[in-house]
Structure formats: C-alpha cells, structure tokens
C-alpha cells in the first residue's frame, strides 16, 4: 500500500487474497515450520508452539512494526515487498528458507537467498504469488539471538542481526548462520562473520572476531536515517549482542 501511496508503482491490476483459502495456516512438523502467505504477525505472536518450534522467528517477529500493522501485515506481503530492513525476509535468508511460488504454469520452489535481488526487488514474476515459506526444522538445543536497532519501537531497523548455531559436545559452534538486515540492499548472510565463529567456543574473543568480520563485510548505504559508518558500527554491536544472547 505505501508503494501505491508514494506512486512508486502503478500496477494495472490488484488482486486481493482475502477469499483465497488455506493460505493462513502455520504448520509445524518434524521437517520444520511452514507459514502460509496470509499468516499475519499477530498470528505468529499468538502461536505458543513457535516459542519452541522456532524461537528465532518468534523473537524477530516481535519487532515487526506496530500494533495496527501487526493485525494486518502478512508473511507473504513482507517477503514480496522485500524491504532490506524487514525482519521476515531476514529470517528467511538466515534460516535457509524455501519459498513456494504459484503461477499459471504451476508451483516452483526457490531458496530465500536467491529470491531477494535488491531493495524491493525479487525474482517473483508478475503473474506469480507466494503461497508459503518453509523454515527447516529447529533442533531444541540450537543457540540463537536476534537484535535490531530502530529509532522508534516498531520502525524499520537501521541494522539488525539474526544468528544461530548448534553446539558440538566440546562446546564449539557448528554451522553458524549470521544474517543481516538494514545494512545492505537485501537481507544476506555474512560468510566471513560465520567463518570467524565456526568451530570456536562462543566467548567474548570469538564474538569480537565475528563482530569485526561482520562490520568489515557489510557495505551499508548512507541515507537520511544514518551514515554508512554508523550502520557499519551498528552491525558490529548487533552481532555482539545477538551472539551474547545466543551464548547466555
């Protein structure tokens, strides 16, 4: 809707999904969590199963927008909109989610990492719509953290970090995933920050290394909300806080 209000786009046709059935389900099974495109933020908030089935998702979604928007904003809408600072695309990319897109020739599955092409740009074709997004299963012992910084509660983040890793028997981080929002033209994982953490015990030294790597790895924009240097520093701080939460 803001895109229309700003006259950024003038699509010839608008389709309301209100009466399309079956898109508003949150399905949880051994393979993971599947969110229908019409699942609203308030639905995720109210679903107590997610506290264990996907705590990172539940925490990140608590940061989405304000009360009135949470009552109408949807998973599919946020993914299709592809704001670089939005939480849902960030979680999808960080968690290796798979999106299901439906079009005239049937359905196709795409990895979240390849779906986002830039600010407000995705690989969704004009005649396709997102029907669901699948997040792989979440092991109970997985460590995670989510932190974002916004000037006003509910506003788009100047920068945010979603992070998780598993722990081997000797306490070392296995397969860490660190994703950033708000500091590049699309949500992305930070390979060098992940490498800095991989195989290490997550303590203040390894967290500092990961934070430094993350800060060096992002190339944030300067805009009226914050200069690039500030955002880069913020990325490091968010990595520190998210990982400190994960290691608590």
Write down the least CB distance from residue 68 to other proteins, Å: 5
Distance of alpha carbon 108 from alpha carbon 128, whole angstroms: 10
Can you tell me which of 1, 9, 126, 224 binds other proteins, judged by CB under 8 A? 1
Write down the least CB distance from residue 117 to other proteins, Å: 24
Write down the least CB distance from residue 18 to other proteins, Å: 6
Distance of alpha carbon 6 from alpha carbon 15, whole angstroms: 19
What x-and-dash track marks residues 145-184 binding other proteins by CB under 8 A? Answer: -------xxx------------------------------
Strands 173-181 and 32-36: unpaired
Residue 233 has phi, psi (to 5 degrees) of -65, -35
Can you tell me which of 7, 18, 30, 170 binds other proteins, judged by CB under 8 A? 18
SS3 217: helix
Distance of alpha carbon 156 from alpha carbon 5, whole angstroms: 18
Distance of alpha carbon 228 from alpha carbon 244, whole angstroms: 24
Nearer to other proteins, 176 or 182 (CB): 182
Write down the least CB distance from residue 23 to other proteins, Å: 15
Give the residues lining the site for other proteins (CB under 8 A).
1-2, 4-6, 14, 16, 18, 42, 65-69, 71-72, 152-154
């Amino acid at each position: 809707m803001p895109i229309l209000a700003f006259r950024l786009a003038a699509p010839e046709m608008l389709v309301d999904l209100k009466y399309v059935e079956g898109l508003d389900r949150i399905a949880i099974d051994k393979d993971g969590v599947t969110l229908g495109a019409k699942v609203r933020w308030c639905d995720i908030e109210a679903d107590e199963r997610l506290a264990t089935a996907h705590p990172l998702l539940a925490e990140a979604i608590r940061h989405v927008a304000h009360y009135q928007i949470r009552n109408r904003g949807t998973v599919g809408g946020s993914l299709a909109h592809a704001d670089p600072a939005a939480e849902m695309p960030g979680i999808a990319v960080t968690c290796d989610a798979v999106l299901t897109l439906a079009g005239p020739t049937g359905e196709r599955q795409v990895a979240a990492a390849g779906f986002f092409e830039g600010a407000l740009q995705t690989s969704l074709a004009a005649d396709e719509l997102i029907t669901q997004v699948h997040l792989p299963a979440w092991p109970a012992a997985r460590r995670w953290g989510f932190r974002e910084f916004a000037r006003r509660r509910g506003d788009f983040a100047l920068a945010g970090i979603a992070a998780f890793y598993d722990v081997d028997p000797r306490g070392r981080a296995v397969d860490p995933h660190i994703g950033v929002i708000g500091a590049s033209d699309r949500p992305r994982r930070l390979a060098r920050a992940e490498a800095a953490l991989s195989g290490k015990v997550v303590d203040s030294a390894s967290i500092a290394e990961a934070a430094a790597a993350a800060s060096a790895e992002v190339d944030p924009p300067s805009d009226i909300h914050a200069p690039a240097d500030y955002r880069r520093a913020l990325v490091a701080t968010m990595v520190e806080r998210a990982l400190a939460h994960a290691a608590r």
